[in-house]
Structure 1
């Protein structure tokens, strides 16, 4: 499922600790992955909820090697006890209710 928040309401996290999970409210773990061209992309991950928080444009900035690293990390946690998602999810940056939407990716 895809949920999103209006990015005008908040700034991406620059701290080393993750924001609260949109579902369970536990602090998310910040993991760094290779970015296209240079540097790293810092993603907030909640392993118990199997949730990944992407700030604006972060998903598009991941290098192919970074995507593989992310998949490997998720695979390492596949046997973890999972939390069910709550009906109402909150943005970990501004705490506003997240809106549900369908993935509308275009190909071509």
Structure 2
């Protein structure tokens, strides 16, 4: 599906938050490569990224302002299990980020990912402690 078609579909389909079922609000971020539209929950402040959007925004300084929700509220909603993709209603998978194994978010292989409030900021800013935690997690798996 082309980007233009996905954006048209997004406008036609009013999304609901997969965690709290509140209305999702479209937010746009300007990058060097154009505008990227993501969806933010009007209640829990979680963020929905269509496939590739989180990676595209990770290096954009303008995206620092996207994750405006309280991380403490995000941790509460991170406990919610068995959520469905807001695009296709299939069950989403719990995924641990490969570079930051402590970071857990939900993903639909076909459509995108949902991050609770505070998770995108964590995803975006890998710290020395995150690198250390990743090394320890890798050693434990051996």
Shorter-chain TM-score bucket reads: 0.5 to 0.7
Tell me, which stretches of 5 or more residues in structure 2 are unaligned?
A: 101-130, 132-142
Once the 2 structures are TM-superposed, how far is the Cα of residue 18 of structure 1 from its aligned partner? 4.5
Once the 2 structures are TM-superposed, how far is the Cα of residue 38 of structure 1 from its aligned partner? 2.8
1:61 to 53, 56, 59: 56
Deviations 1:23-62 (A, max 9, x none): 1222201000112x23211011114223111111101222
Tell me, which stretches of 5 or more residues in structure 1 are unaligned?
A: 1-10
Is 2:46 the partner of 1:51? yes
- Superposed CA RMSD in Å reads 2.8
> Which structure would you say has the larger Rg?
2
2:66 to 65, 70, 92: 70
CA–CA distance in structure 1, aligned partners of residues 97 and 42 of structure 2: 22
> Judging changes above 3 Å, is the alpha-carbon distance between structure 1 residues 12 and 104 closer, same or farther for their aligned structure 2 residues?
farther
Structure that is richer in helix per residue: 2
Provide the TM-score with structure 2 as the length reference. 0.51
> Judging changes above 3 Å, is the alpha-carbon distance between structure 1 residues 18 and 40 closer, same or farther for their aligned structure 2 residues?
farther
Larger relative contact order (C-alpha < 8 A, sep ≥ 6)?
Answer: 1
